[in-house]
Amino acid sequence: MSATTQPLPAASLLQLIWLASPALPVGGFSYSEGLEAAVDRAGVTTESLAADWLSDQLHLSLARGDLAVIAQAIPAWRDNQLGRVKVLNDWVLQTRETSELRLQAEQMGRSLLEWLRNHHSVSDAHLQACALLPPTYPVAFALAASPLAAGVPDCLSAYTFGWAENMMQAALKSVPLGQSAGQRILARLAAEIPAAIAAAMALKDHERQAFSPMLAILSSQHETQYSRLFRS
């Protein structure tokens, strides 16, 4: 840590850890985001293949889409730029490539908004504005993070690590893998998260992307997969 770096206040750090927790009641644990179909149809049946799949999803999908949205939505909430927030939320809805991915974004957004109503950290005006969208999960997460004394990179780190934990758990159940393999996958993703965040923060509006053809195909197939552990 350099001499000019200010440590994150303990209260804000704890709130970010809370937001990243798989125990947060938003239902993230119930989705595999195409991974379960990848196991069934694309041969993702080993630890190394699961790690590669999730690494690709981190850099090619998450960083270019949701992380870039959150990076812009947090300052928009902080500056009360509600029109800007709506534009970002609309982009998420319009670029979900399958119905199950869109339903996941909507359901988790609603659940996080309900959690925020009981958490008393966000203004009533912002809660009402968020409810009118209605919110997707990335935009609701940005609202949850906006009151904290934390920089955007720290907020993105919390979001991405929470995603990584959920996806690692999905790999354990669907490949299946053991706990040690899961921790190795999580270690790899954690090492790659800073680069993904840096890439996301550098993107301008016209550079955001939601083009992951194989992920979209597998997500569509997952909706009718004969035997499933995860929600569609």
Mean pLDDT computed over 195-209: 97
Whole-number percent of the chain with pLDDT over 70 = 97
Report the distance separating Cα 157 and Cα 142, nearest Å: 12
Longest pairwise C-alpha distance within the chain = 57
And the tokens for 189? 């993703």
Q: How far is CA 66 from CA 142, 162, 182, 187, 197, in A?
A: 10, 13, 24, 21, 11
The pLDDT score that the predictor gives to residue 172 is 96
Question: What is the CATH class of 34-219?
Answer: mainly alpha
Tens digits of per-residue pLDDT, 76-113? 999 999 999 999 999 999 999 999 999 999 999 999 99
Give the predicted TM-score (pTM) of the model: 0.94
Tens digits of per-residue pLDDT, 29-70? 899 999 999 999 999 999 999 999 999 999 999 999 999 999
* 18: pLDDT strictly greater than 60: yes
The pLDDT score that the predictor gives to residue 120 is 85
Q: Where are the domains of the chain?
A: 34-219
* 196: pLDDT strictly greater than 60: yes
Residues 6+ apart with CB under 8 A from 216: 97, 98, 101
The pLDDT score that the predictor gives to residue 2 is 41
The pLDDT score that the predictor gives to residue 5 is 61
* 232: pLDDT strictly greater than 70: no
Nearest residue to 53 (alpha-carbon basis) of 64, 68, 42, 63: 42
Mean pLDDT computed over 6-22: 91
Burial of 103 (0-12, 13-18, 19+ CB in 10 A): middle
Report the distance separating Cα 72 and Cα 201, nearest Å: 8
| Lowest pLDDT segment from 84-93, 210-219, 221-230 | 221-230
Could you give the angle at which helices 66-78 and 152-174 cross, rounded to 10 degrees? 140
And the tokens for 3? 């001499």
Report the distance separating Cα 56 and Cα 25, nearest Å: 27
The pLDDT score that the predictor gives to residue 78 is 98
* 3: pLDDT strictly greater than 60: no
Tens digits of per-residue pLDDT, 126-184? 999 999 999 999 999 999 999 999 999 999 999 999 999 999 999 999 999 999 999 99
* 1: pLDDT strictly greater than 50: no
The pLDDT score that the predictor gives to residue 198 is 98
Q: Could you tell me where the DSSP H helices lie in the chain?
A: 10-20, 35-41, 47-56, 66-78, 82-95, 99-117, 124-132, 137-145, 152-174, 179-202, 213-222
> Is the CA virtual torsion 17, 79, 28, 67 positive or negative?
negative
